[in-house]
Amino acid sequence: MRLKLLFRNVFRHKLRAFLTIIGICVAILAFGMLRTVVDAWYAGVNASSSSRLVTRNATSLIFTLPISYQEKIRGVNGVREVSYGNWFGGIYIEEKNFFANFAVEPRSYFDLYPEFVLPEAQAAAFFRDRKACVAGRKLAARFGWSVGDTITLKGTIFPGHWDFVLRGIYHGKNATTDENQFFFHWRYLNENLKKTYPRRADQVGFYMIGLKHPDMAADVSEAVDALFKNSYAETLTETERAFQMSFVSMSEAILTVIQLVSYVIIVIIMAVVANTMAMSVRERMGEFAVFKTLGFGGGYLSTLILGESMLLSGIGGLGGIVLTFPAANAFGKAVGQYFPIVRVSANTLVMDVVAAMVVGAVAAIIPMWRVIRIRIADGLGRIG
């Protein structure tokens, strides 16, 4: 009976209720999308493994390291596997076709990244063919690639046109795995550099280190960097998470603004809902006075007002949450080359629900206070 009364009161002024619900829906949608963008920014950090380290040149990531460092790193206590690679920076057909592409040592690299799942036959073909490459499922779908296709990348860091044969398409082991990457043999790159740019040969951009146990990360990092201290190419070794965070931190100001805007949106819609509830209560002050005359206390009337506000926010919030999923999918397709993992997380959904509840509760505070404070004579004497 009380729920029926709440619905009747909420939709007594249908246009106002409808516009308020639309406003809440849009606000929760915007809040959820902004939180999803922040999650997408941190996707690489969240997907990083605690059992992997990254070693790079201590001066800057743009400087390389000798390939000879590999065996020395392998001899450090606590190291299970060592792989290496270079950021290639190739372009497919035209510059807008941006995606991550790496020259790596294939066997050790895929051993360190079990989340990249490659069919056994495709893996064997990739390891066997020096000109072979592997692409993620989403990347292959984006350009319509199939196994056996010849793919030509235009080098930017390494000039020239580089031809590859697609021997495999990997898929992610879980939802947080990036399926927009492209890998090929480091030796193919190195052999060409020996012919064209000999000084750039036998150099790698990074080493990936697999640990025997995650607890050994700090000791192994120190030991690796100590090996090459005071050499012409000193190293900086850090966890994969710290390495990924170094890129995210470059845009920390942007992320802070996005998070701030998401909270401002909630405050604004809170004011809108509070205004709607204030108008509704003001129009019905005479009715509340009658309720008091009949013996209904301020607590009961406050419950009604709170229920109306929560119902209004709940309907709008539910609509915003439902719309967040198709909006996130559309956003992911539009910017997939920049944000490879765009998904609405459980944490975002919880924050949406909490935001809608907070809006409903806070918006009802002043109307509840007014109804509790008003005297019966004053309420009966009000018109409109």
pLDDT in tens, 2-59: 677 777 777 778 888 888 889 899 999 999 998 888 887 777 666 677 889 999 999 9
Going by pLDDT thresholds of 50, 70 and 90, the confidence category of residue 345 is: confident
- Please tell me whether residues 298 and 213 are part of one structural domain: no
pLDDT at 15: 85
Element (DSSP H or E) covering residue 323 = helix 298-334
Q: How far apart are CA 172 and CA 193, in angstroms?
A: 32
Q: Does 384 have pLDDT greater than 60?
A: no
Span of 60-64, 132-136, 256-260, 301-305 with lowest mean pLDDT: 301-305
- Please tell me whether residues 154 and 227 are part of one structural domain: yes
Please check whether residue 241 lies inside any domain of the structure: no
pLDDT at 336: 65
Please check whether residue 287 lies inside any domain of the structure: yes
Q: How far apart are CA 325 and CA 315, in angstroms?
A: 17
- Cα 219 from chain centre: 31
The mean pLDDT of the chain is 86
- Please tell me whether residues 132 and 220 are part of one structural domain: yes
pLDDT at 2: 66
Residues pairing with 151 in the sheet: 164
Name which residue leads in pLDDT, 64 or 376.
64
Q: Among 339, 378, 350, which residue's Cα sits nearest to residue 31?
A: 350
Span of 92-106, 135-149, 279-293, 350-364 with lowest mean pLDDT: 279-293
Span of 216-225, 262-271, 276-285 with lowest mean pLDDT: 276-285
Q: How far apart are CA 211 and CA 51, in angstroms?
A: 5
Q: Among 54, 181, 56, 171, which residue's Cα sits nearest to residue 114?
A: 171
How many CA within 13 A on the CB side of residue 36?
28
- Please tell me whether residues 143 and 285 are part of one structural domain: no
Residues pairing with 54 in the sheet: 208, 238
Final residue of a domain: which of 179, 201, 233? 233
Please check whether residue 349 lies inside any domain of the structure: yes
Average pLDDT over residues 115-134: 95
Please check whether residue 243 lies inside any domain of the structure: no
Cβ pair 151, 166 in contact under 8 A: yes
- Please tell me whether residues 274 and 197 are part of one structural domain: no
Q: How far apart are CA 275 and CA 237, in angstroms?
A: 56
pLDDT at 220: 94
- Please tell me whether residues 70 and 214 are part of one structural domain: yes
Please check whether residue 146 lies inside any domain of the structure: yes
Please check whether residue 291 lies inside any domain of the structure: yes
- In tens, the pLDDT along 358-380 reads 988 888 888 888 777 777 666 56
- Please tell me whether residues 225 and 121 are part of one structural domain: yes
Please enumerate, as own/partner, the contacts of 77-81 that have beta carbons within 8 Å and a separation of 24 or more. Answer: 77/219, 77/220, 77/223, 78/211, 78/212, 78/213, 78/216, 78/219, 78/220, 78/223, 79/209, 79/210, 79/211, 79/212, 79/220, 80/210, 80/211, 80/212, 81/108, 81/111, 81/112, 81/209, 81/210
Q: How far apart are CA 330 and CA 124, in angstroms?
A: 36
pLDDT at 77: 94
- Please tell me whether residues 83 and 20 are part of one structural domain: no
- Please tell me whether residues 278 and 358 are part of one structural domain: yes
pLDDT at 338: 67
Please check whether residue 54 lies inside any domain of the structure: no
Q: Among 53, 51, 55, 50, which residue's Cα sits nearest to residue 206?
A: 55
Q: How far apart are CA 109 and CA 183, in angstroms?
A: 10
Q: How far apart are CA 178 and CA 99, in angstroms?
A: 11
The Cα angle at residue 17 between residues 13 and 18, in degrees rounded to 5: 120
Please enumerate, as own/partner, the contacts of 98-102 that have beta carbons within 8 Å and a separation of 24 or more. Answer: 98/337, 98/338, 99/139, 99/180, 99/181, 99/182, 99/337, 100/178, 100/180, 100/181, 100/182, 100/340, 101/153, 101/181, 101/182, 101/183, 101/184, 102/181, 102/182, 102/183, 102/184
- Please tell me whether residues 89 and 157 are part of one structural domain: yes
* Number of separate domains in the chain: 2
Q: In terms of residue numbers, what domain contains 77?
A: 59-233
Q: How far apart are CA 153 and CA 134, in angstroms?
A: 13
Query: The tokens 């040969």 sit on which residue?
Result: 201
- Please tell me whether residues 175 and 255 are part of one structural domain: no
Q: How far apart are CA 180 and CA 138, in angstroms?
A: 6
How many CB atoms sit inside 10 A of residue 253's CB? 9
- In tens, the pLDDT along 177-214 reads 889 999 999 999 999 999 999 999 999 999 999 999 98
Q: Among 3, 2, 9, 5, which residue's Cα sits nearest to residue 283?
A: 9
Please check whether residue 49 lies inside any domain of the structure: no
- Please tell me whether residues 99 and 72 are part of one structural domain: yes
- In tens, the pLDDT along 313-343 reads 888 999 999 999 999 888 877 766 667 777 8
> Residue 189 contacts by C-beta under 8 Å, 6 or more apart in sequence?
86, 88, 103, 158, 162
